[in-house]
Every structure is written in structure tokens, then in C-alpha cells.
Amino acid sequence: MPEVPYLSTRCPICGDNVSMPPAGPGAMAVQDAFGPHNHMMAYLHLCTNKNCIGSTVAYYLKKGPNHPSYKFHRPEFQAHTVHEAVPPRPREILQNANDARGSPIACTTTAVRAVEAMMAEKGYRTRKLGLKGRIAKAIESGDLPKVMGDWAEEVRELGVASHTDEEPEPLSTKEDAERALLFANTLADYLFVMPARILEARKPDSE
């Protein structure tokens, strides 16, 4: 029986909500942290997700022979925050996709939906074209370079696979979700964040 329980938290590497077991006995971090015999102990906790190397160090206050009480852990999961330069509707959808990293199907489909919303913000709203047609129009108009258009097509196909049941394809994996999310975040940077930063950098000095 481990001296401390599993740590229920979001893994700092994969972002999943997991119950992380202690990897071994604790080590003294601070002696007499809050008075005599109140020691701060450090325990390494490991992510239980297959192929994830995530870990965190949790600190517990041990009062004599009593069971250690949890205080905090580092590092913690740092969620991606979508830049405010992205317009409100696609920004909220993209934030939801980032927050759903631990659920591959939800993350993939929401990331693709965020791409659709960003394309709509740039004026590509004709639904009958589908996302593929809107991407082609954006390339033709110069709003997207061809290399990003090719990447967008790969991500679009991931989204189609996630919600097509006529001829079911394998459901989205964590790797699929990461690919879709990387593209969606990169597209947001390309279409909205970088132009905003360039405009800010080119403003004349106020003095």
C-alpha cells in the first residue's frame, strides 16, 4: 500500500485527466516546514496513459506519523489560450478544441469546426462548397498558401472520418487530434494573430 494515494489531476504532458500513482517512496523536501516534526515530502507521480512520459512532483505535509496531506504539485498542465486577435466565434470554438485534447474524437471534430468558423470570418461562407471548396477558394484568392491548403485538406479528411457512418472509418486517435489541433492553432496564427502583431509593430511611436 503506497504511503500517499494516486494523484487525480491533468497530466502536464498529455493533458488527460488521469489518476497518477506514486512512483516510489517520498523524499524530504523541507524539514520542519511549519513547525517541529512537520516535514514537507516530495513524491513523483507518473501518468498512466500508454506512450505518455508525463510525470509531476507532488508535495505533502507530513505531521509526525500521520498520513501526508497534499499541498500542491509541479509542473501543472498549462492549457493553450487562444489569442484575443482571433474573432470571438472561432476563438471560442478553437478554445473548446484545445480544452478537449484528452478526448480525441471531440478534439478533432471541434478543431475542424474551428477551421470552418475561421474560413467564414475571412468571407468563405458558401456551405455548398464544403470546407474543401472554401479552402480552394482561399488559395485561389491568396488568403492561404498552397502548402497550408494541402495541410488543411488532410485535417478536413480527419474530421470527415470522425462523423461518417455510411462507410465507417477508424475513429480519431490522439495523434489525429494533435494533428488537427496543431493545424487549427497554426491557421489562427496565420490568419489573425500574426497580422495583428505586424500591425502593432508597425504603429508609430506614441511619443
Could you read off the pLDDT of 112-123 as tens digits, one per residue? Answer: 999 999 999 999
Q: What is the mean pLDDT of residues 39-61?
A: 89
Does residue 206 carry a pLDDT above 50? no
Task: Tell me, yes or no, whether 104 and 13 share the same domain.
Answer: no
Task: Tell me, yes or no, whether 60 and 148 share the same domain.
Answer: no
Task: Tell me, yes or no, whether 18 and 69 share the same domain.
Answer: yes
Identify whether 145 is part of a domain: yes
Task: Tell me, yes or no, whether 138 and 185 share the same domain.
Answer: yes
Counted domains in the chain: 2
Does residue 65 carry a pLDDT above 60? yes
Task: Tell me, yes or no, whether 70 and 30 share the same domain.
Answer: yes
Long-range contacts for 24-29 (Cβ within 8 Å, ≥24 apart)? 26/60, 26/62, 26/68, 29/59
Q: Which residue has the higher pLDDT, 197 or 157?
A: 197
Q: Which of 25, 49, 74 is the last residue of a domain?
A: 74
Task: Tell me, yes or no, whether 101 and 60 share the same domain.
Answer: no
Residues 20-34: pLDDT tens digits? 999 988 888 888 777
Identify whether 175 is part of a domain: yes
Identify whether 80 is part of a domain: no
Q: Which of 21, 48, 74 is the last residue of a domain?
A: 74
Identify whether 120 is part of a domain: yes
Task: Tell me, yes or no, whether 150 and 63 share the same domain.
Answer: no
Identify whether 83 is part of a domain: no
Q: How far is CA 157 from CA 29, 133, 141, 189, in A?
A: 50, 13, 22, 22
Neighbouring residues of 110: CB distance < 8 A, sequence distance ≥ 6:
93, 96, 97, 100
In this structure, what CATH number is given to the domain that contains residue 151? 1.20.120
Q: Which of 20, 39, 74 is the last residue of a domain?
A: 74
> In which domain, by residue range, is 19 found?
7-74
